Amino acid sequence: MKLRFPTILRIGILVLLIVFLVRPEWFEPVFRPLTQNNAPVIYNQGSLLTLTLLHLRTVAIATAGATIVAVALAILVTRSFGVEFLPLSRSLVNIGQTFPPVAVLALAVPAVGFGEKPTLIALFLYGLLPIFENSLTGLTTLPPTVTDAARGVGMTGWQRLLKVELPLAMPIILAGIRLSVTINLATATIGSTVAAKTLGEVIIAGLQSNNLSFVLQGGLIVGVLAVLIYDGLSAIESFISRRMGLLQQS
């Protein structure tokens, strides 16, 4: 099967990003017009590749934690014994959206200190809502015929959850995770204001030295990562949907 042009384009963007992270000096002529007074063209206060990997690690840890908690809460409130906790669960997951990440950082620093920890707390709280709401939607909109059939063959509640409900709800849950990751990729940049190692360091260094080249480098890396990861998770979501028979095979 031939690769479609968009797929080739995505691969090309990924390769270009990797080359830039490994050999940023090769791109110096592209960014030179954005500098002045003989300022450095390429970010030179650390490794762009290392910062990118640390940025991704922070987002991955926070998203994993948010996914576990949000899905567990969604499962709880969709069981007969946990329905009454739905309002409380919604209030909890809305905390991250109610308080701006900067405010969460300010509150977290006195408790856990500077570095990655306050950033993880902010991203964790900020990522709960979309995953919880999508998980709730996925688990409450299953075809009744499917769940009735599962009961009819003698499946226990846990068997229905693990073998029927979660697999069928997975595409919708993944859509929430995709949204959460995309939001947190950009939000993680503010972690550098509390000494976390993220790509925000590059942007902040550019703002402090009035170096637009640094700002653009940090912003472009975050933007490209967001697009590629969003696209990759969308492909996984579509694949699972086709496997579950939720979409027509192309």
Distance set, CA 34 to CA 20, 42, 94, 210, 214 (Å): 17, 11, 40, 10, 9
Q: How confident is the model at residue 222 (pLDDT cuts 50, 70, 90)?
A: very high
Q: How many separate domains does the chain show?
A: 1
- At residue 151, the pLDDT reads 77
229 falls within a domain: yes
- At residue 245, the pLDDT reads 64
Domain region containing 215: 47-243
213 falls within a domain: yes
| Cβ-based neighbours of 92, under 8 Å, separated by 6 or more | 73, 128
Per the CB < 8 A criterion, the answer to whether 186 and 98 are in contact is no
pLDDT single digits (tens) 91-137: 888 887 787 888 888 888 888 888 889 999 999 999 999 999 999 99
Phi, psi of 167 (to 5 degrees): -60, -40
- At residue 250, the pLDDT reads 39
28 falls within a domain: no
The CATH code of the domain that includes 204 is 1.10.3720.10
81 falls within a domain: yes
pLDDT single digits (tens) 168-207: 889 899 999 999 999 999 999 999 888 889 999 999 999 9
Phi, psi of 45 (to 5 degrees): -105, 15
78 falls within a domain: yes
| Cβ-based neighbours of 88, under 8 Å, separated by 6 or more | none
39 falls within a domain: no
Structure tokens at 65: 């934690």
6 falls within a domain: no
Q: Which of 33-37, 161-165, 241-245 has the lowest mean pLDDT?
A: 241-245
Model pTM score: 0.88
